[in-house]
Each structure stands twice: as structure tokens, then as C-alpha cells.
């Protein structure tokens, strides 16, 4: 029996590896320029049998210039003793669009065994070429080669726009504001980003992906690489002109370094040297015209603007005295839901009312703020009888019709029976208190006991050993925490020690990002992040600013730190390989894996010193 069970487990493991899921996916750039070549890649992921007979449908207006170029790769993972192997087969096509417009590439197909698999549909936006700028750049490059001057980023090559979806809105009407970067030069990052303050607005920020990707976009007849830096939905809180001020941003731009000697014939065979330059950018101010809401506002209006729906439910319409009843209101729609005031429910005077429970669930997107607001009202009837809970009303200003609308719930009839033990049956009425009638049920009043009382002597906590421990333990803990705090302050004052401690943590974070680029086969970003990890680690470990570290002096500094020559040679080999591959990317996936492992190994060895 045990042998049969073992055989079944082995067979299930082999079958699980052999029948792994097969996927066929196509990738292409979202935007390209008419007349320029671009690549479309179809990737088949499989475990054993390789695909064949790939077919891509023709698309009017898009030519296939070359392809397919076929490449394969294999990845093996071993987790808890289970081994899985994944193979990828990629077909790369070089294409070109003839005219600008929106194009859709129909799904491609491929055969794997006796089955046929289809890829996803691809949508591509083709932008018009910027011929005048291209000609100007060609002339500028020619003059640069003659004079050997430095190429600098001008205002037209990099800028940030503040884009608003509407410039005229009503009070509390939401609109979208976006901050978008446009560039034709290489931007390595931002050191300081100061977005304008949204005074006079309630702002709800849209969550953007951490790994933002540059997209091609045509603006004023020129093609830029653009990316959204920040987006928010703004709700104006008063009528009149409200200004959104300028933003200020410090971008780090990579430029060709100025040559210190005359240009030689051999310089044409080597990539130019680059340097990082800070450039201050500003986004222009924008004025928003906020219109006041029309007059004749309904009594149930509390400032809501947008499009809403209202519904309600009640937990029970028949209950006993002293049993709770719950009325649940649900407001859903589009608008500033978080700022909505809770609709009021008028309960009978003889109900004990508790604070409502409020739950807000919203989603912020470029289309605005949408979601639901749920309010649960709790009340307890204190005596029996028939009661009416009137309809609840909620009014809002509808932007589509430009008028006020009022929503109502149902009217509820409650039948309250006497509680257990006859509670709620007989009520004592006392008048003249706060000019209101106050009702007391029998369970609310207890008679004061009179007569003889017997007092008994018992054990007291005061003065015992446990009593004094309540004072001693907090005092000892205070002293210990004070000593730890003083030690932490002393360590934080030692800047060199703190930088050395954080070196491995910062390098690990960058290597984790580099590994993501490695898995997604983004070669240039992988090498760039690996270089940042190494230089940043050495800067923190040696307590030397990155700007003062070069390949010429880093060997001497490592020797002074006590690093052996083998490890120094390993670090220099990593730096040379990564810098060469970044500017001349001829390395394969295997070389990238090896470089990543060498980097991790070198840092681990350095940490052992």
C-alpha cells in the first residue's frame, strides 16, 4: 500500500511539471512615430514541447520589415525540493507604420502539439514625425562635432506641465490636475520636487505605480517621452478665482561631458563620456474659475455635488422593549464622498440613540472619486408601543442637469412589545425637566436599601509586596529605556558609523530593484541600477561622497580599509563590466545573471570584514 501511495505522489509531481500552463503573449510599444522602426515581440512560455508555425495577421498601414528573429531561454526553480522548468520562445518582428493614427494588431497564433494558442490584441498609437526638430537636431549635432562643445538640455527639450481637466467648475465639483514631464534628453531622476499647494481645495491624490514608464507623446508638433509624476482630484471649497501656484523641481539630466582636449580620429570608436547635471524646472500657475451653486437650495442639502444614490434597510420592524434596532443607510455615487455630511434620522423621543457607525470606501481615479458611504444608526426603544420613523432625505446638486435633486428612503413602522419581565410596560412620567417629558421605565429605578449594614474585614492590596512591585517595575523599565536611548543618540551622532550600518541595507534595496529589471530583461536599467548599488555601497562603507569616488582612487581607499586584493579585483571587475555593458549592451541573459551573483557575493564578503 505504501509503495502504491509513493508511486502516485511521484507520478503527480512529474505530471505537475509536465503539464505546466502554456501562455502566448504579445508586447509592443504603446506609441511610435510614423516612418520609424519598432519591435513587436511574441513570447511563448511552455514546459516541454516547443511551439511552431507562428502566424501574425496583416494590418493595413503597418509593414513587417524583418522577422521573425527567434530566441529561447530556460529557467529552473527549486522550491522545497520541487523542481520546475520554464522555457520561453520569443519571436521578434521589426515593423514600421506608414501614417499616423490608431492601429490594432489582431491576435497572432502558434501551434504547440495538437493545440493552437492565440496571443492578446495589441493597440499602437502612431504619432506624426517632427521633421523640423529632427533637421535642427542634425545641424546641432554637426556643429557640436566640429566645435567639440558640450550638449546641454534647453527649455524646449525638458519641461513639466500642470494640466487641469477643467478651468471652470462649481463649488465642490471635482476636477483632475496632472503634473507631466516631457523630455527628449536622458533624465536619471529628481532630487527635489516641490509641487504647488492646493489652497482653497480639498485634494485626493491618485495612487500611481512606483515604476513609472516613459511613453512617446506628440506635443505641439514635437515628439517627447512623457510620464505622469502626480495626479490629484481637487474639490474647490469657495466660489471665485482660485489660483494654483507654480511648482519647482530639480531634475538630474545626463549630458555629454565637455572634452578637455582636442578631438582625435580614435574618439569616433568609443562612446562619449557623460555627466549628470542638475536642471531646475517650473510648472506654470493655473487659475480656476469656481462658480457658486444656484440658490433655492433644498432643506436637506448639505453641500453634496455629483451623482448619488440612496438606499436604506432596517434590522427589524417588530421587536421588544430594550432591544436594539439598526437602520443602515448607503450613499453611493461619484463626488467628494468622504466630505458628505451624514443624513439625519428623527427617532421618537422615547428611543435611546447612539453614535452612528460610518464606513467609507472610495476609489480615486482620473474619472473622479467614486464609492460608497455606509452609516449605521443604533437606537433602543425603552417602552412598548407603535412608532413611526419618518423618511430620510438627502439632496445634492446634479452636474449633468445643473439642478438640485432630492433622494428619499422608505418610512418605517415599528411595533415594540413589552420586554422580558414586563419591562417597558409601566412608565413613570416626570415633567418640568429641561421643558421636556422624561420617561423612566421600571428597570431604570432602584430603591435605596435601608436598615442595618454588616461590615466585614477583608484582605487589602495596599502595602503588600505586589503593591510595591507596581512602582518598582516601571521605575526599572524607565532607567533601562533611558540608557538605551542615550546609547542610540550617541550612535546617531557618529555619522560615519551610521553610514556604514546603512550601506548593506541601501545596497540590498537597489539590488532588489536590479533583480526586477533582470527578470524583465530590461538590460540598460539593470546595469544602471547595479552601478548605483555598487557606488552607493562603497560611498557609505568608506564614508566618502560618491562625487569623490572614481575607479582610480577606489582601489587605494579599499586597501586602506583593509580589503584584500582578490575582493578589490572583484569590485573593479564588476564596475568595468557594468559600465561597458550599459553603453555597449552586448551582454546576454546569462552574463547579467553572473554579474548579479558576483555583485551580491562581493558585498557579502565586504560585510564580513
DSSP string, 515-532: HHHHHTT-HHHHHHHHHH
Among 454, 453, 471, smallest CA distance to 462 is for 471
Which grid cell sits at 566? 582578490
Say if CB 105 and CB 116 are below 8 A apart.
no
- What is the CB neighbour count within 10 angstroms for residue 491? 11
| CA dist 360 → 206, 237, 374, 504 (Å) | 17, 21, 6, 41
| Residues 217-254: tens digit of each pLDDT | 888 888 888 999 999 999 999 999 999 999 999 988 88
DSSP per position, 214-280: -EEEEETTEEEEEEEEEEEEEEE-SSEEEEE--EEEEEEEEEEPPPSS---GGGGGSPPPEEEEEEE
Q: Cell 510648472 belongs to which residue?
A: 283
pLDDT of residue 263: 56
Instruction: Sketch the domain layout of the chain as residue ranges.
Output: 21-127, 149-291, 311-386+412-422, 495-607
Is-cis flag, bond preceding 68, omega within 30? yes
pLDDT of residue 538: 83
Among 237, 243, 275, 281, smallest CA distance to 259 is for 275
Radius of gyration of the chain (CA): 36
Compare 1 and 34 and report the one with higher pLDDT: 34
Which grid cell sits at 504? 548593506
Q: How far apart are CA 432 and CA 441, in angstroms?
A: 18
Domains 21-127 and 495-607 share a fold: no
Say if CB 109 and CB 117 are below 8 A apart.
yes
Is residue 442 scored above 60 in pLDDT?
no
Q: Which residues of 493-512 are buried (b: 16+ CB within 10 A; e: fewer)?
A: eeeeeebeeebbebbeebbe
Among 384, 239, 354, 230, smallest CA distance to 305 is for 239
Q: Which residues are 170's β-sheet partners?
A: 291
- Give mean pLDDT, residues 284-298: 92
Which conformational region is residue 271 in: left (phi greater than 0), alpha (psi within -120 to 50 degrees), or beta?
A: beta
The answer for residues whose C-beta is within 8 angstroms of residue 231's C-beta and 6 or more apart is 176, 177, 178, 179, 205, 206, 208, 366
Q: State the architecture of 21-127 in CATH terms.
A: Sandwich (2.60)
Half-sphere exposure of 377 (CA within 13 A, CB side): 20
Each as own residue / partner, the long-range contacts of residues 207-213 (CB below 8 Å, 24 or more positions apart, any chain) are: 207/364, 211/516
0.85 cut: is pTM over it? Answer: no
| Residues 309-354: tens digit of each pLDDT | 999 999 998 988 888 999 999 999 999 888 888 888 888 888 888 8
| Residues 389-402: tens digit of each pLDDT | 999 999 999 999 99
pLDDT of residue 195: 92
Is residue 426 scored above 60 in pLDDT?
no
| Residues 465-508: tens digit of each pLDDT | 777 888 888 888 888 888 888 777 766 555 555 656 677 788 88
| CA dist 355 → 315, 317, 347, 349, 509 (Å) | 17, 21, 13, 16, 46
DSSP per position, 158-226: EEEEEEES-SEEETT--EEEEEEEEESSEEEEEEEEEPPP-TTEEEEEPP--SS---EEEEETTEEEEE
pLDDT of residue 72: 83
Among 378, 374, 348, smallest CA distance to 359 is for 374
Mean pLDDT of the chain: 79
pLDDT of residue 377: 92
Q: How many Å separate Cα 348 from the centre of its chain?
A: 47
Reply yes or no on domain 495-607 having CATH 1.20.120.
Answer: yes
Amino acid at each position: 500500500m505504501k509503495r502504491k501511495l509513493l508511486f502516485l505522489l511521484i507520478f503527480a509531481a512529474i505530471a505537475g511539471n509536465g503539464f505546466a500552463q502554456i501562455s502566448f503573449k504579445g508586447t509592443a510599444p504603446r506609441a511610435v512615430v510614423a516612418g520609424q522602426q519598432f519591435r513587436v515581440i511574441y513570447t511563448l512560455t511552455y514546459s516541454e514541447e516547443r511551439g511552431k508555425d507562428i502566424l501574425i495577421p496583416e494590418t493595413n498601414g503597418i509593414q513587417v520589415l524583418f522577422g521573425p528573429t527567434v530566441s529561447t531561454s530556460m529557467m529552473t526553480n527549486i522550491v522545497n525540493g520541487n523542481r520546475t522548468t520554464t522555457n520561453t520562445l520569443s519571436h521578434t518582428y521589426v515593423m514600421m507604420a506608414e501614417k499616423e493614427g490608431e492601429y490594432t494588431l489582431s491576435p497572432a497564433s502558434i501551434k504547440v502539439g495538437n493545440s493552437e494558442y492565440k496571443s492578446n490584441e495589441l493597440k499602437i498609437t502612431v504619432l506624426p514625425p517632427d521633421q523640423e526638430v529632427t533637421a535642427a537636431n542634425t545641424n546641432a549635432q554637426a556643429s557640436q562635432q566640429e566645435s567639440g562643445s558640450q550638449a546641454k538640455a534647453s527649455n524646449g527639450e525638458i519641461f513639466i506641465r500642470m494640466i487641469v481637466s477643467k478651468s471652470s467648475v462649481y463649488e465642490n465639483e471635482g476636477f483632475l490636475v496632472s503634473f507631466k514631464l516631457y523630455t527628449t534628453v536622458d533624465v536619471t531622476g529628481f532630487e527635489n520636487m516641490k509641487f504647488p499647494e492646493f489652497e482653497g481645495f480639498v485634494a485626493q491624490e491618485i495612487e500611481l505605480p512606483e515604476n513609472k514608464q516613459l511613453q512617446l507623446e506628440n506635443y505641439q508638433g514635437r515628439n517627447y517621452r512623457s510620464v505622469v509624476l502626480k495626479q490629484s482630484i481637487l474639490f474647490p471649497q469657495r466660489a471665485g478665482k482660485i489660483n494654483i501656484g507654480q511648482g519647482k523641481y530639480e531634475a538630474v539630466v545626463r549630458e555629454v561631458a565637455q572634452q578637455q582636449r582636442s578631438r582625435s580620429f580614435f574618439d569616433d570608436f568609443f562612446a562619449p563620456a557623460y555627466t549628470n547635471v542638475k536642471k531646475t524646472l517650473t510648472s506654470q500657475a493655473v487659475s480656476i474659475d469656481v462658480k457658486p451653486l444656484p440658490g433655492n437650495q433644498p432643506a436637506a442639502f448639505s453641500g453634496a455635488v455629483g451623482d448619488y444614490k440612496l438606499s436604506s434597510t432596517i434590522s427589524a420592524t417588530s421587536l421588544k422593549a430594550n432591544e436594539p434596532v439598526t437602520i443602515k443607510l448607503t450613499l453611493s455615487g461619484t463626488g467628494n464622498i468622504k466630505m458628505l455630511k451624514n443624513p439625519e434620522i428623527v427617532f421618537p423621543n422615547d428611543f435611546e440613540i447612539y453614535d452612528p457607525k460610518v464606513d467609507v470606501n472610495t476609489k480615486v481615479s482620473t474619472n473622479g472619486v467614486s464609492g460608497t458611504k455606509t452609516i449605521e444608526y443604533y437606537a433602543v426603544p425603552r417602552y412598548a408601543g407603535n412608532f413611526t420613523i419618518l423618511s430620510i432625505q438627502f439632496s445634492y446638486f446634479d452636474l449633468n442637469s445643473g439642478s438640485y435633486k432630492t433622494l428619499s428612503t422608505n418610512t418605517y413602522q415599528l411595533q415594540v412589545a413589552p420586554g422580558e419581565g414586563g419591562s417597558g410596560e409601566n412608565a413613570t412620567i416626570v415633567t418640568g425637566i429641561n421643558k421636556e417629558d422624561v420617561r423612566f421605565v421600571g428597570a431604570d429605578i432602584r430603591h435605596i436599601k435601608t436598615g442595618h449594614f454588616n461590615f466585614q474585614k477583608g484582605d487589602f492590596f495596599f502595602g503588600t509586596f505586589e503593591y510595591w512591585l507596581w512602582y518598582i517595575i516601571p521605575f526599572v523599565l524607565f532607567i533601562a529605556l533611558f540608557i538605551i536611548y542615550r546609547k542610540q543618540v550617541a550612535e546617531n551622532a557618529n555619522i560615519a558609523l551610521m553610514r556604514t550600518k546603512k550601506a548593506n541595507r541601501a545596497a540590498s534595496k537597489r539590488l532588489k530593484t536590479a533583480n526586477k529589471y533582470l527578470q524583465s530583461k530590461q538590460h540598460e536599467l539593470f546595469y544602471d541600477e547595479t552601478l548605483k548599488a555598487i557606488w552607493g555601497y562603497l560611498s557609505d562603507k568608506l564614508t566618502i561622497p560618491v562625487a569623490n569616488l572614481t575607479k582610480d582612487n577606489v582601489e587605494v581607499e579599499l586597501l586602506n580599509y583593509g580589503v584584500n586584493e582578490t575582493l578589490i579585483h572583484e569590485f573593479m571587475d564588476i564596475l568595468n563590466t557594468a559600465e561597458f555593458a550599459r553603453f555597449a549592451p552586448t551582454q546576454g541573459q546569462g552574463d547579467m545573471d553572473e554579474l548579479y551573483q558576483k555583485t551580491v557575493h562581493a558585498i557579502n564578503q565586504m560585510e564580513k570584514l
